[in-house]
Amino acid sequence: MSVADREQLRELASLHALGVLSAEERAELAAAMAADPELAAEVRQLEDTTGALGGVVAQVDPPARLRARVLAIAGIDDASAPSPAVVSMTGARGAARPADVAVPVRGRSSALPAWLAAAAALVLASGLGLWALQLRTSLETMNARVDRAEAEVVRIQRTVGEAQEQTRVLQASNAVLFAPDTLRVDLAGEGPAPGSAARAFMSRHSGLVFAANQLPALPADKVYQLWVVPQGANPVPISAGLLAPDASGHASLFFEMPASVPLAAALAVTVEPAGGVPAPTGARVLLGAVPAATAS
């Protein structure tokens, strides 16, 4: 890059910080920034500088009625604000100021010349100005409502997505129940959960449907985890997922049974740290042997 080009980009950076670039010039600067971290850093520093520049002008109190109009955007009725007419004549500060204004405040009323206050009073007296303000506030309130409605649509879409996922699981579970190779596994409670019982239907092709009853409630840092214990001498259990019992101790789960899962000898449920673990570590609460496939 030539020195002249470089200097030109630096000038663009300054103009950008003042907010006067055209869209094309901004695009040019953005492209150059992507290739030149030093330029990008300088742009940010210049932005921060002009960002602060807006705050160093002479400070003037806004009229108290403005607070009520702004809060109306959020649907809050600002009862603490005095009536508009009182404010425009006296410039009194609103009652509801934060505690952090314990700093000396510049002597007031220097900001508004008398003719301006009189003019403001005249506008208010005509009622037109106030009417316009009210319309404006209504418009802002409407805008805010539209935004809320949009957010609501997003929430509904999410709920629909969750419902679709539930439907998918139900359909998959149904497929398990009617698969030709489905086996039934009954699990009995043991250890800390002698009263618990569970039943599972498993198909190597369609998946595993599992439901347990009377599972004791667990502390928040613990969770129940279901394992498929493969056949063989030293089986390595495979996690089939976490169980979240409801208030009555009922929990159900669908596991897709990837093709990589070997033939199962048993199903077991253990108590594990929240979030689950890759291999069982905790107390076993349910165990059931898988009947031989040929037997069914």
Touching other proteins, residues 64-103 (CB under 8 A): 66-67, 69-71, 73-76, 78, 96-98, 100, 103
Contact between 45 and other proteins (CB under 8 A)? yes
> How far apart are alpha carbons 278 and 227 in whole angstroms?
10
Amino acid in the structure at residue 62 = P
> Exposure string (b/e) for 5-24, b if CB count within 10 Å is 16 or more?
eeeebeebbebbbeeebeee
Tell me which of 1, 5, 34, 118 binds other proteins, using CB under 8 A.
34
Cβ of 179: how many Cβ atoms within 10 Å? 16
> How far apart are alpha carbons 9 and 16 in whole angstroms?
10
> How far apart are alpha carbons 215 and 224 in whole angstroms?
9
Return the range that interacts with other proteins (CB under 8 A); candidates 14-22, 198-206, 270-278, 280-288: 14-22
Give the nearer residue to other proteins in terms of CB position, either 50 or 164: 50
Tell me which of 2, 3, 4, 56 binds other proteins, using CB under 8 A.
56
Give the nearer residue to other proteins in terms of CB position, either 12 or 215: 12
Token pair of 67 as six digits: 């607070």
In the complex, minimum distance from the CB of residue 92 to other proteins, in angstroms, rounded to a whole number: 15
> How far apart are alpha carbons 240 and 258 in whole angstroms?
10
> How far apart are alpha carbons 240 and 227 in whole angstroms?
5
Contact between 11 and other proteins (CB under 8 A)? yes
Contact between 26 and other proteins (CB under 8 A)? yes
Supply φ then ψ for residue 116, to 5 degrees. Answer: -70, -45
Give the nearer residue to other proteins in terms of CB position, either 7 or 186: 7
Contact between 17 and other proteins (CB under 8 A)? yes
Return the range that interacts with other proteins (CB under 8 A); candidates 105-113, 175-183, 248-256, 287-295: 105-113
> How far apart are alpha carbons 162 and 169 in whole angstroms?
11
Contact between 1 and other proteins (CB under 8 A)? no
Binding mask 119-148 vs other proteins (x if CB under 8 A, - otherwise)? Answer: -x--x-----x------xx--x--xx--xx
Which of 26, 44, 38, 41 has its CA nearest to residue 1? 38
Tell me which of 2, 3, 4, 55 binds other proteins, using CB under 8 A.
55
Contact between 113 and other proteins (CB under 8 A)? no
In the complex, minimum distance from the CB of residue 38 to other proteins, in angstroms, rounded to a whole number: 10
Token pair of 196 as six digits: 């618990």
